[in-house]
Homo-oligomer: A and B are copies of this chain.
């Protein structure tokens, strides 16, 4: 008789963003006259840039003709895209990453959820707290997290690294030694960035202790300050300890297009087993490649026109971020982020909890944000707003919050 994977039953409640969606739908249904502005989920709103749309149409036409039709893609992605990534995202920054160390996928969420599969179930993970929920949830599902303490909101076998105002939302090296360290910079949800010097400390620590770093750089395109690394491979020694996850969702608006990639340098090994070969095996067995037309669209992101157009989109969102940041400061809120990331992290006022402030904002300003506690216990009393709305909605939302 079949049994279920009972690790799933340990997961409390549903996925954070599903819960938010349900709450917002219920509110909208009960209040059909209210115009709700969503600055909660990190979904983009600008349409796909023209140069990318052109590439899409071209690739669709190719799929409609016998001479240019493409069936199964190469397991690890088309070379045209892997070469464009190696050249533009790595070699142009002086980082020694080869095209065959890049694995094309359908997005950083999937990769960040799947990557743990190639590690031992006995390994212990460390995560920033607060953190993108997928890292912890997928480790729970795999049986790596231990038991849940509902009161504390923590898992017994996960090392939490608090990211708070006092450490500029960048974690300290942990006291207990983890096997796998998830880092995300620029950070979701806090919007904090890490300097190259601080990140180098992490790389040195990982190499010293034999830990692997899973570095989520999905928000790299939003970095505006000097001294903030665009990739972990800017740090010396990262090739022997770090996996990097990247996305086209936030730089090119591909949230509904689905494209991302994972970099695994060939030197990253446990004994003589390379993680590169294990991920290649997983990719080849449990995945079947990103669509050809989507990979062609990804290639167009790196064209001259594509680069110009997507930079304008990033600038548009960062203008929103600035408006939120300054508006909330004026209104007396404690805020951070929003300079190297499209997220603004604010302290809920008057001792409210995260979910109390969520309900308060939804009901009184009809603005949707994300409760910080959904990202981990140290997120309690914090709240995330995103800069991904339209400028008009962003201004309206901030003005409504100011009037509360």
Contact of A69 with B53 in the complex, beta carbons under 8 Å: no
B residues near A398, Cβ cutoff 8 Å = none
Task: Return the contact of A71 from the options B8, B120, B255 (Cβ within 8 A).
Answer: B255
Give residues 239-281 of A contacting B (CB, 8 Å): 253, 255-258, 270, 273, 275, 278, 281
CB distance from A317 to the nearest CB of B (A): 13
Give residues 179-193 of A contacting B (CB, 8 Å): 179-180
Known interface pairs A71-B45, A288-B258. Does A60 touch B57 (Cβ–Cβ under 8 Å)? yes
27 pairs, A vs B, C-beta closer than 8 Å? A2-B210, A2-B211, A4-B118, A4-B278, A5-B278, A6-B120, A8-B282, A11-B281, A15-B284, A18-B284, A45-B69, A47-B63, A47-B66, A48-B63, A56-B293, A57-B57, A71-B253, A106-B258, A106-B288, A110-B288, A113-B285, A113-B287, A256-B289, A257-B291, A258-B290, A258-B291, A291-B291
Q: Which residues in A have some Cβ–Cβ distance to B below 8 Å?
A: 1-6, 8-9, 11, 14-15, 18, 41, 43-48, 50, 53, 56-57, 60-61, 63-66, 68-73, 75, 106-107, 109-110, 113-114, 117-123, 134, 137-138, 141, 143, 179-180, 209-212, 253, 255-258, 270, 273, 275, 278, 281-282, 284-294
Known interface pairs A60-B60, A61-B53, A256-B292. Does A110 touch B286 (Cβ–Cβ under 8 Å)? yes
**In whole angstroms, what is the CA distance A352 to B122 when docked?**
45
Contact of B287 with A1 in the complex, beta carbons under 8 Å: no
Contact of B106 with A63 in the complex, beta carbons under 8 Å: no
CB distance from A343 to the nearest CB of B (A): 16
Contact of A4 with B273 in the complex, beta carbons under 8 Å: yes
Task: Return the contact of A63 from the options B1, B15, B209, B257 (Cβ within 8 A).
Answer: B257
**In whole angstroms, what is the CA distance A15 to B74 when docked?**
13
Identify 5 new A-B residue pairs, CB closer than 8 A, beyond the known A5-B117, A48-B64.
A15-B281, A109-B286, A134-B286, A257-B293, A258-B290
- A47 nearest CB neighbor, chain B only: B69
**In whole angstroms, what is the CA distance A292 to B122 when docked?**
38
Known interface pairs A48-B64, A141-B282, A293-B56. Does A4 touch B71 (Cβ–Cβ under 8 Å)? no
Task: Return the contact of A15 from the options B69, B179, B285 (Cβ within 8 A).
Answer: B285
CB distance from A314 to the nearest CB of B (A): 16
Among A6, A15, A60, A61, which residue has the most Cβ atoms of chain B within 10 A? Answer: A60
Contact of A72 with B48 in the complex, beta carbons under 8 Å: no
Task: Return the contact of A3 from the options B48, B60, B120, B137 (Cβ within 8 A).
Answer: B120
Contact of A291 with B120 in the complex, beta carbons under 8 Å: no
Contact of B270 with A4 in the complex, beta carbons under 8 Å: yes
Contact of B47 with A1 in the complex, beta carbons under 8 Å: no
- A134 nearest CB neighbor, chain B only: B285
B residues near A70, Cβ cutoff 8 Å = 256
CB distance from A158 to the nearest CB of B (A): 15
Contact of A63 with B256 in the complex, beta carbons under 8 Å: yes
- A178 nearest CB neighbor, chain B only: B2
CB distance from A3 to the nearest CB of B (A): 4
B residues near A120, Cβ cutoff 8 Å = 2-6
B residues near A60, Cβ cutoff 8 Å = 53, 56-57, 60
Contact of A41 with B4 in the complex, beta carbons under 8 Å: no
Known interface pairs A72-B43, A141-B285. Does A278 touch B3 (Cβ–Cβ under 8 Å)? no
